[in-house]
Every structure is written in C-alpha cells, then in structure tokens.
Chain A
Amino acid sequence: MSVTTDLKKEPQGGEPAAPVVLELRDLRVFYGAIEALKGVNLTVRRGEVVALLGANGAGKTTTLRTASGMIAPREGQVLLHGERIDGIKSHDLVRFGIGHVPEGRGVFPRMTVRENLQMGAYRFKSVDKADMDRVFTLFPRLGERKSQLGGTLSGGEQQMLAIGRALMGKPEVLLLDEPSMGLAPLIVQQIFEIVKEINEQGTTVLLVEQNAAQALRMADRGYVLETGAVAMEGEASELLSDPRVRAAYLGEGA
C-alpha cells in the first residue's frame, strides 16, 4: 500500500479542498409513515474521516443505509463523484466502491473467518491474496482464527472481521456503523487505531458513532444528527470543544 498519505489531510487555509467523493443532498427517507430523515445534507471529501454523531434513533443508520443503496430515499439525491447513485441496488453499488460495515456487524455466522473474507471479495472474479494478507496484517487476531466460524468469534473479533470483509471489496469509501458498539474500551481503542490506519492507507471513511469524543478525535469533520436532520456540523476539533456537543454527547454539564 504505497498510496496517498498526501491526499489525506484536510487542506489548511486557502488551499483548494480535496474533491467531494460522496454527497447526500436533501435526503428524505420514510419507513411507512415515519419520516426518519428530514432533509439530510452531508459531504465527504477524498481522504477524510467524517464522523456522524447523534442520539439513538437520530437517523444515523438510516443515513448509511441510504448511502449504500439498502434503502431508496423518497426525495433527495445520493451522489458519488457527482453522479447520482440513489436508486441503484446495493448489490450493484458495491462495484462503485462503497463498502458498508453494517450496524451489528453482520458476520456470516456459519462461515469461517476465511469464507467471510472471501464473501467480501464476491464482486471480483477471484479473491486477491494480497488483500487477504493485508486484512491479516491489520487484524492479526483474525489470522490466528482463519478456520473458526464467524458466529463463534467474540464481539471485538466479529467487528474486526466485518471491517476486514468490507476491505476485501476494495472500497473507496468505507461506511462504518458504530464499530464500538458493545465492546470493551481497550478493543474500541484498537479498532479506532486500525480504522485510522486504513484511512491513512487511502480509504475515505464515514464513521457513525455514539462514542462522540473518540470519534471526533480521529475525524477531520463531523455532523450531528438530531431526529432526522443535521443539527450541527463542522471541523472535528470545533465540535469537540463546542459546549452543546460536550453537554449532549460527552456527558458534561454545559
């Protein structure tokens, strides 16, 4: 992986910003009569880590599911490199370079670690050995458990497997839905470090998290969703020091 640590950082000052990879425009998404997203706007630039925060039920998962084609928006657009991709089915969309690690990990329980990773490369004719090795380098614990069934892995290992599996599809943008959910702080720390590493190796990341402090420390920019709409957005460092964010998501008195 020789590529692009130079693309990574948000340009400072007057430099031109990196090109937009993923853009959500005025997304409105309904579950029956319930309006889960009420006009969400969000952009992700090449090489960024963008954090998407919000309370339970704010619509974070819905946003990711819409971006990866699992749900069609009623109104609004999803754009990848400026081209509309909403309406394309998720199984076709993987070819466009969107990798989605779903909420709850979605590891195939009766497949081995190796088979799960091979599923990640399903869109390719054959499995790239180098990709598999890269996953085992990022997550040595998976390398020790190649033949173990996914369903018997610990929660942390399952999360690693889910991320590794998404990497097997060579995504340009990686959508991560609460990778820290239900994991011990030490494991969360590890996983965040690896996400950082993946990003430095050239993958753009849109990260949904409840764990706001940790997510913002890693992210370039952040969005805060409240009941289906963007309530705040900005540089991660600004959000991190914003008293409203600190009060609502970091458990501090304002």
Chain B
Amino acid sequence: MSLSEFWDFLVLGVVLGSLYAVIAIGYTLVYGVLQLLNFAHSEVFMFGGYGGLLALTALIPESTPSGMGSVAYVLIGMLAGAALGGAVAFGLERVAYRPLRRHHAPRLVFLITAIGASFFLYNLAGKLFGRNPLPMPSMYENKKVLSVFGAELTITQVLILVSAVAMMVGLDYVVNRTKMGSGIRAVAQDPEVASLMGVDIDKVVSRTFVLGGLLGGAAGFLFGTNSQVWYTMGFLPGITAFAAAVLGGIGNVRGAMLGGLVLGVVETMTVGLWGDDWRYVGAFVVLVLVLMVRPTGILGERVGRTA
C-alpha cells in the first residue's frame, strides 16, 4: 500500500468508523441501563434508512436539488430517519422488553426476545417495503469536495463525518451535562438507589431507547445515502457496531465511539491490504485480541453495574 493509498483508506475508515460509533452508542446506552444486548438495534438502524428514503421519495422533485435545497432535503432525510428510528426503538422497548421487566424475566429471555424482535422487524420491513435494495433519492450531486492528505472526500462522506461527530458531541453532552443524562447514568450505576432519588426508572429506560434510536435511525439514513436501503442492511453494520461497543467497553459511551472508529479504520485498512474478501476478518481479529488483553474493553473498567 502506497502512502497515498494509506491516507485514502484511513480517511475512508474514519468515515465508516464514525457511523459505527453512532450505532454503537445505541447498544451501549441500552446495555448501560438494562444490561441488555439489544440485537434489534440493527433493525432500528435499518428503519432509519427507510424513514429517510420514504420522506425523500415523497418530497424530492425529479431533478436533483442544489444549494440550500440540497441542505434542506438532507436535513429532512436525517430527521425522518432519526424519527422513525426513535419511534421503532420506543415501540420495541414498550412491546418487547417492558413486559419482561415487569415479570423479572431472566437475562436469557431478554436475549432471545431481542433476537426474535430483530427477525420480526426486518421481515416486517421486507414485507412493507419489498426485498430489493432501493437507492436513496438524490439530494445533491455527489462531487468530491474536500481533500485531506491527498484523500478526496465526496459530499456524502463529509456529510457522514460531520453529522456523526455532531451527534456524538451532542449525545456526550446530553449524557454528561443534562438532568436527563444524570438520570440515565444513575440508573446504569444503581437503579434501586436512583429510584430513591426520585428517578422514574421506566421513563429513563424509555428515553434511553429513544435516544439510541434517534442516533441509530440517523445513521441508517446516512448509510443508505452512501449505498442503498434494504431490509437486511442492519445486519453487518449492527454486528460490527455491537462489536465496537464491546471493544470500547460496553456501557461506556465514549468507549463505544472509540471502538467504532477503531473498527472502521481496521476494516478499511484490511480491505486495502488484502482485498474485500477479508473485510470483516481484520476487525474481528482486533476485537478478539483486545478482549484477550482487556476483557472489559478499552475504556471499560468493569462489566455490569457492580461498583
């Protein structure tokens, strides 16, 4: 790999990784408050892709918009994706997980339910929207606009990077600096004591799902803009983002961001060095190696809620 190729793949990896990071936040937030591996989060992401696609299909004109028009459609697509993602996540918690919590179901039951909900949701999408990949209506002419160390970035790539960073900064602020965030952190650390402080655990859990869903949905829209939207599009990014959350230390929000970036870069570097067949191998080798050295992940101090 030449130096210029190295920069190309590095920049591509950062773009991809920033998407993984945003998705990984959804896994890690929910894990933090419920110790639940919410495998249906990949479908929240997928619905986000459809949310953007449907809104734009309904609104966008024949000819590709430009200028402020493009900006407006991007915002519409992103908001629609986030909204559908948030709504699916909200419904998922209400319908699938809350009844289990009421009955103090064992962990394994939650896990099986998560997998079942994932199957249900992607088949539902296949039924509703068809099983063929659909292109996102074009919101702008996707030119190369930026050159970083010689690596040329398209508008879509810049859009992904900028919005992912904005979402991460925003989320970090919400979790660490707002009252809602302090409720989430309190429930993650000790739900019983949190309720003694007046924290309504049900509300916090619901908000946590919605927060993760908004981010996951927006990420689905961005991913769909970069490639296409289809009913099983959540699977591989979902697994990778889950791995990223584990890599960073599950339950730790900044860890999820870091893990996403690392796996994104490793993935594209692997492709650069050994070709596309090896795409997912590098990332998972790194995951296994890191967990062998640090079983709790890069930033994870401890697993679960024990002090």
Residues of A participating in the B interface, judged by any CB pair closer than 8 Å: 68, 70, 89-92, 94-95, 100, 102, 106-111, 115, 118-120, 122-123, 151, 165, 169
Interface string of B187-230 (1 = CB under 8 A from A): 00110111111111100000000000000000000000000000
Contact B196 A100 (CB under 8 A): yes
Contact A70 B196 (CB under 8 A): yes
Contact A122 B183 (CB under 8 A): yes
In the assembled complex, which residues on chain A have CB atoms less than 8 Å from the CB atom of B190?
106, 108
Cα–Cα, bound, A115→B197 (Å): 12
In the assembled complex, which residues on chain A have CB atoms less than 8 Å from the CB atom of B192?
70, 102, 106
Chain A CB within 8 A of B127 CB: no
Residues of B participating in the A interface, judged by any CB pair closer than 8 Å: 179, 182-183, 185-186, 189-190, 192-201, 307
7 A-B pairs with CB atoms under 8 Å apart are A90-B195, A91-B196, A110-B189, A120-B197, A122-B186, A122-B199, A151-B307
In the assembled complex, which residues on chain B have CB atoms less than 8 Å from the CB atom of A122?
179, 182-183, 186, 197-199
Contact B307 A119 (CB under 8 A): no
Contact A68 B196 (CB under 8 A): yes
Contact A94 B193 (CB under 8 A): no
In the assembled complex, which residues on chain B have CB atoms less than 8 Å from the CB atom of A106?
190, 192-193, 196
Contact of B185 among A89, A100, A102, A108 (CB under 8 A): A108
Shortest CB-to-CB span from B10 to chain A, Å, is 33
Contact A91 B193 (CB under 8 A): no
| Closest residue of B by beta carbon distance from A119 | B197
The list of the 5 closest CB pairs from A to B, nearest first, reads A123-B198, A106-B193, A109-B307, A94-B198, A91-B195
In the assembled complex, which residues on chain B have CB atoms less than 8 Å from the CB atom of A68?
196
In the assembled complex, which residues on chain A have CB atoms less than 8 Å from the CB atom of B201?
91
With contacts A91-B195, A109-B307, A151-B307 taken as known, whether A115 is within 8 angstroms of B182 at the C-beta atoms is yes
| Closest residue of B by beta carbon distance from A99 | B196
With contacts A102-B192, A106-B193, A109-B307 taken as known, whether A95 is within 8 angstroms of B186 at the C-beta atoms is no
Chain B interface mostly: helix
Contact A109 B189 (CB under 8 A): yes
In the assembled complex, which residues on chain A have CB atoms less than 8 Å from the CB atom of B183?
122
| Closest residue of B by beta carbon distance from A175 | B196
| Closest residue of A by beta carbon distance from B307 | A109
Cα–Cα, bound, A93→B182 (Å): 20
In the assembled complex, which residues on chain B have CB atoms less than 8 Å from the CB atom of A107?
307
In the assembled complex, which residues on chain A have CB atoms less than 8 Å from the CB atom of B186?
108, 111, 119, 122
In the assembled complex, which residues on chain A have CB atoms less than 8 Å from the CB atom of B200?
89, 91-92
Cα–Cα, bound, A9→B195 (Å): 32
Q: Find the residue from B179, B195, B197, B201 having the highest chain A CB count within 10 A.
A: B197
| Closest residue of B by beta carbon distance from A115 | B182
Shortest CB-to-CB span from A218 to chain B, Å, is 23
In the assembled complex, which residues on chain B have CB atoms less than 8 Å from the CB atom of A102?
192-193, 196
With contacts A106-B190, A122-B198, A122-B199 taken as known, whether A111 is within 8 angstroms of B185 at the C-beta atoms is yes
With contacts A122-B182, A151-B307 taken as known, whether A108 is within 8 angstroms of B198 at the C-beta atoms is no
Cα–Cα, bound, A102→B307 (Å): 15
Contact A119 B194 (CB under 8 A): yes
Cα–Cα, bound, A153→B182 (Å): 20
Shortest CB-to-CB span from B206 to chain A, Å, is 14
For the complex with contacts A70-B195, A109-B307, 12 further pairs of A-B residues with Cβ separation under 8 Å are: A92-B200, A100-B196, A108-B185, A110-B185, A119-B186, A120-B197, A122-B182, A122-B183, A122-B199, A123-B197, A169-B197, A169-B198
Shortest CB-to-CB span from A176 to chain B, Å, is 13
Shortest CB-to-CB span from B254 to chain A, Å, is 12
Contact of A94 among B182, B189, B196 (CB under 8 A): B196
In the assembled complex, which residues on chain B have CB atoms less than 8 Å from the CB atom of A70?
192, 195-196
Cα–Cα, bound, A111→B307 (Å): 11
In the assembled complex, which residues on chain B have CB atoms less than 8 Å from the CB atom of A120?
197
In the assembled complex, which residues on chain B have CB atoms less than 8 Å from the CB atom of A110?
185, 189
Cα–Cα, bound, A147→B162 (Å): 33
Contact B198 A91 (CB under 8 A): yes
Shortest CB-to-CB span from A125 to chain B, Å, is 9
In the assembled complex, which residues on chain B have CB atoms less than 8 Å from the CB atom of A119?
182, 186, 194, 197, 199
In the assembled complex, which residues on chain B have CB atoms less than 8 Å from the CB atom of A169?
197-198
Cα–Cα, bound, A118→B199 (Å): 12
In the assembled complex, which residues on chain A have CB atoms less than 8 Å from the CB atom of B179?
122
Contact B185 A94 (CB under 8 A): no
Contact of A90 among B182, B185, B196 (CB under 8 A): B196
With contacts A102-B192, A110-B185, A111-B185 taken as known, whether A94 is within 8 angstroms of B307 at the C-beta atoms is no
In the assembled complex, which residues on chain A have CB atoms less than 8 Å from the CB atom of B199?
91, 119, 122
Q: Find the residue from B192, B194, B195, B198 having the highest chain A CB count within 10 A.
A: B198
Cα–Cα, bound, A102→B194 (Å): 11
Cα–Cα, bound, A164→B183 (Å): 18
